[in-house]
Structures are given as structure tokens and as C-alpha cells.
Amino acid sequence: MESVIVVHPLKNFHLELRFNTGETRLFDMRPYLDKGALRRLQDKELFDQAYVAFDTVCWPGNLDIAPETLYDKSLPQPASSPDGAFFMVTLSQSPVLE
């Protein structure tokens, strides 16, 4: 099973995730922000406090999302560039430096 090892909250309620497989993937949280307790993540300050615990992404207040969902519903990202910058593929699939 894939486990999240690094999370970076990005603008527009996206998460850049690194998994134990070595993959970097982009997850769009927007479809989940109107569901149950996750509604609280509409507060961008809270959303930006994402951290890794128990192999997944968590937030203060006992909020989390299943690692299977994060992996299955995310988009693969290219490897980091030689200078260490990460590139994000937007929903239109055009690379944008983040």
C-alpha cells in the first residue's frame, strides 16, 4: 500500500504529495471541501497546516483523508528538476513552475 511521506499544500486547495514509492503526485482537494468534517478545510489557513502522520495527510482537529484516496485520485508529476524545484502539471496538463 502506498504511504504519504511528504505533503506540500499549494494554492487553489491542491496538495503536492510524495509517496513511499518515490512518486510525486498532485491531489485536488476541492471536490472534498463540501463533505462532512472536511468542510473546515475551506479555511485556507487550516488547509495550509497539512502534515504527514499515520502514512497519510492530516490537519489539526483530527482531520485526515485516506492514503488510498490521495493516491488513486491524484495525478502523477514529473521528477524534480536538477535545481530541486518541483514542477506541477495543472489540470490542463501544461507544466507550471510552483
DSSP state of 78: P
Q: Please give the residue that has the higher pLDDT: either 75 or 87.
A: 75
Largest CA distance in the chain: 41
**Residue 7 β-bridge partners:** 17
Residue 98 above 90 pLDDT?
Answer: no
Domains and CATH numbers, the chain: 4-97 (3.30.2020.10)
Instruction: Identify residue 10 by its one-letter amino acid code.
Output: L
Which secondary-structure segment (H or E) carries 71? helix 67-72
Tens-digit pLDDT profile for residues 31-80: 999 999 999 999 999 999 999 999 999 999 999 999 999 999 999 998 65
Q: For the chain, what's the residue count?
A: 98
Q: What is the pLDDT of residue 78?
A: 83
Helix (H, G, I), strand (E, B) or coil at 30: helix
Predicted TM-score of the model (pTM): 0.80
Q: What is the pLDDT of residue 10?
A: 97
